[in-house]
Structure 1
Amino acid sequence: MRVIDPPMDCWHGRVDAEEGELGRRWHQLVQPLSPTSQGVVLTGFACDAGVARNQGRVGAREGPRALRAMLANLPVHGQAQLSDAGDVVCEGDALEHAQARLSGLLCGLLERGLFPIVLGGGHEMAFGSFGGLARHLARRHPAPRVGIINLDAHLDLRLAQRASSGTPFRQIAEDCAVRGWPFHYCCLGVSEFANTPALFERARRLGVTWLRDEDMGETRLPRTLALLERFLAGVDQVYLTICLDVLPAAVAPGVSAPAALGVPLVVVEALIDRVAASGKLRLADVAELNPRLDIDGQTARVAARLVGRLAQRRQQAQTAGAALAGALA
C-alpha cells in the first residue's frame, strides 16, 4: 500500500480564454491539496483487490485516473476551490492496509473541515471511507447517528472469511456494534436477482432500509424520496456511497457487474440532490468504475457527472445554510 501525489497530469483540457472567468473548467481550478485548501477535495482509491476476492472482473484500480480525466473538462459552476489529495494505491492483495490508509487520510481531511469525495476503485473502499468518518466523529460524539446511504444493486452484506467488495457494510455493522453505535444503513436500488435470500435475511436482522430497483422508476420517485426523507430524519451525519452498477447497463457498462435493470440516472441524481440538501452530508464516494470494461468512456462520463453534481449541490447546501444562520443571528 502506498499514497501517491495528486496526478496533476490528468488535469488538462480545453481552455476558453475568450470567455474569461465564466469559461473556466475543472482542470483550471483543481490544485494539489495544501494547508490552505477549502471546500471539496478529491482522493482516489486505486484498488480492486476486493473485487478480485469477490470473484469479480478486475480493472477498477484504474478508475480514479479515468474519472479525473473525464472531470477535467467539466465547467466550473460556482465552485470556489477544488483540491486533489492524490491516491491510496493498493499493492497486490494488501486490501486491509489500503483501507486503513484511506481511513486515516479521510479522517485528516474531515478534521480540516473539508468535504472529501473518493474516486474508486472497488466498493471495498466503503469500509475505509466509513472508517475515516467514524474516526473523525468519535473524537466529538460518544454515539453519533451516522446514516449510510448506498445507491447500489447489491446489499454488500456478505459473510466471508476475508474482506472483499461484497462485505463492507456487514463489516461496518460489526464495527458499529463494537463501538456501541447504532447501525443506520439504507440501500437503494437493490436487485432481487443479484442478492441471495441469505443477504436479504441478514439485512432484515440488521434493520436495513432498502428499496428494490423495480420499485424505483421515475413514476415512483415521490415515494422513493419520501422513504429517503424518513431515513434522513433519523440521522445526524451522512456518508453517501454510489456504486455505479446501480445504473442500467446501457448507462454504465464499465463496471464489474452491469445491472440487468438498474435505476434511472434521473432518479439517482434526484437522490443525490436530496441528500446534499439535508445539510448532513459529510463524505461521499463513487465506486466500481472499470475503464477496461467501459465503452467510449461512457461510464466515466456518467461518473464525472455524478461527482460534479455532488460537489455543486453540497456547496449550494452549505451556502444556503450559512445564509440561514446569518439571517437568524
Structure 2
Amino acid sequence: MNNIWQGRLDGEEPLFHRVFQRIKEENNYENISKNDFVLHGFAVDEGVKRNKGREGAKDAPDVIRKNMANFPVILPDFSFLDFGNISCDDQNLESTQDNLAEKVSKTLQKGGKSLVLGGGHEVTYAHYSGIRKAFPDKKIGIINIDAHFDNRQPENGVGASSGTGFWQIVQEGEIYSLHIGIQRNSNTLKLFDAAHQFGMKYILADELFFENLPSVYQRIDDLLDEVDVVYLTICMDVFNASIAPGVSASAYNGIFADAAFMHFYRHILKNQKLVALDVAEVNPSYDIQDRTARLAASLVNEWLMI
C-alpha cells in the first residue's frame, strides 16, 4: 500500500508534515491508542449490484486514499493507522459486513476513532453493527447525509443491499437517526412512509440554505443531545453531479459543499460524541478528474483537522 500514500515532501520536520508522512500501516489492533484515527477500506459494491446500481464503488478506497495523502497535518498529536481493505470476493455480503463490524468494534473498544472508506452504502449497516457491538448499552445516533433514506425492505431472494441499511437497523431496535439532504424525487411515498413509521427524522435538500441554518442546527442538536455516541455516514450521491459525477446514482439537483453545508458539517464534526465516520458510493469508473474522490477525501480531512 506504500505506493498509495505518497505526496509532496517539503521536509521531515513536523511543521512540514502531510498526511502521507504520518500514516502507519497496521494489522494489530493492540497497537491502537486512544483518539487514534483508524482507517479501514470497505472495497465492496455487492450491495450496489443487488440494488441495481452502477457497479464500481469497490475500487474507491484506494483512490480516496491517494486524494487524502497530500493534505497538511494541522494537529501536533495527529495519529493515523491504516488497516487496509476488506473485500467481498465471494458475493457473501453478509459475512463481509460482519468482518468490518468486528474490526470497527475492536477499534472503538481501544478508544480509536473509526474511519471507513466505501464502497457502496451497504457499509452503513456494517459500520453501525460494529459500533453497537462496541457500545451495546449506549444510544447510538446516526446522521446520514444522503439523498436517499436507504430504508428499503430487502427483496426476497436478493437479501440486504446498499438500499436496506436503515431497514436492517430498525429491525434490531429503536433507531435514533437524522437524514440530511433527502430528495423528494429520489424516494417513493412508501419510503417516506417507512421513515415516519420508523421514527427517522429528516431534512430535505431544499431546506439546506444559509438563511435556514438555525433550523438545521436545532434539528442536529436535538439528535446529538438525545444520544450517547454519534456515527456520521455520507453518501456521495447527495451532491450535485457537477461536483460529484462519480457515484452510483448521480443527482442533477444534488446539494453543494458550499458555505451553508460546511457550517453544519463542521458543527457535527466538532461534537465530542462523534466516534465514527464513513464516505460511501464514490465510483471511480464514472468520476471525472477525481472530482468525487477528491471531495470525499476533503470531507474526511475535515474530521482529521478538528
Question: Is residue 45–residue 64 contact of structure 1 (8 Å, CA) maintained in 2?
Answer: yes
Q: CA deviation at 1:264?
A: 2.3
Match of 1:188, as an amino acid? I
Distance (whole Å) between structure 1 residues aligned to residue 222 and residue 237 of structure 2: 25
Residues 212-221 or 97-106, more deviating: 212-221
1:305 aligned residue: 298
Question: What secondary structure is seen at the aligned counterpart in 1 of 2:67?
Answer: helix
Question: What secondary structure is seen at the aligned counterpart in 2 of 1:147?
Answer: strand
Structure 1 stretches of at least 4 aligned residues deviating more than 3 Å after TM superposition: 34-38
* 1:10 lines up with 2:4 in the alignment: yes
Question: What secondary structure is seen at the aligned counterpart in 2 of 1:193?
Answer: helix
Q: CA deviation at 1:263?
A: 2.2
For 1:97-176, list aligned pairs within 5 A. 97-138=95-136, 141=137, 144-161=138-155, 162-175=159-172
Among residues 272, 275, 286, which one is paired with 1:279 in the alignment?
272
Q: CA deviation at 1:257?
A: 0.8
Greater percentage in helix: 1
1:36 aligned residue: 31
Question: What secondary structure is seen at the aligned counterpart in 1 of 2:31?
Answer: coil
Question: What secondary structure is seen at the aligned counterpart in 2 of 1:251?
Answer: coil
Tell me the matched-pair count.
Answer: 297
Question: What secondary structure is seen at the aligned counterpart in 1 of 2:185?
Answer: coil
Question: Is residue 32–residue 111 contact of structure 2 (8 Å, CA) maintained in 1?
Answer: no
Distance (whole Å) between structure 2 residues aligned to residue 154 and residue 278 of structure 1: 24
Question: What secondary structure is seen at the aligned counterpart in 1 of 2:135?
Answer: helix
TM-score, normalising length: structure 1:
0.87
1:207 aligned residue: 199
Distance (whole Å) between structure 2 residues aligned to residue 218 and residue 120 of structure 1: 29
For 1:260-279, list aligned pairs within 5 A. 260-266=252-258, 267-279=260-272
Cα deviation code 1:226-279 (max 9, x no counterpart): 211112111111111011111111111110111222222134432332222221
For 1:217-296, list aligned pairs within 5 A. 217-266=209-258, 267-296=260-289
Query: Please, what is the CA RMSD of the aligned residues?
Result: 1.4
Q: CA deviation at 1:9?
A: 2.2
Question: Is residue 179–residue 202 contact of structure 2 (8 Å, CA) maintained in 1?
Answer: yes
Distance (whole Å) between structure 1 residues aligned to residue 100 and residue 295 of structure 2: 24
1:61 aligned residue: 58
Question: Is residue 269–residue 306 contact of structure 1 (8 Å, CA) maintained in 2?
Answer: no
Question: What secondary structure is seen at the aligned counterpart in 2 of 1:8?
Answer: coil
Structure 1 residues without counterparts, runs of 5 or longer: 1-6, 314-329
Q: CA deviation at 1:215?
A: 1.1
Structure 2 residues without counterparts, runs of 5 or longer: none
Match of 2:169, as an amino acid? I
Q: CA deviation at 1:37?
A: 3.5
Q: Percent identity?
A: 36
Distance (whole Å) between structure 2 residues aligned to residue 64 and residue 91 of structure 1: 16
Match of 2:167, as an amino acid? R
Question: Is residue 145–residue 235 contact of structure 1 (8 Å, CA) maintained in 2?
Answer: yes
* 1:84 lines up with 2:78 in the alignment: no
Match of 2:143, as an amino acid? I
Q: CA deviation at 1:288?
A: 0.6
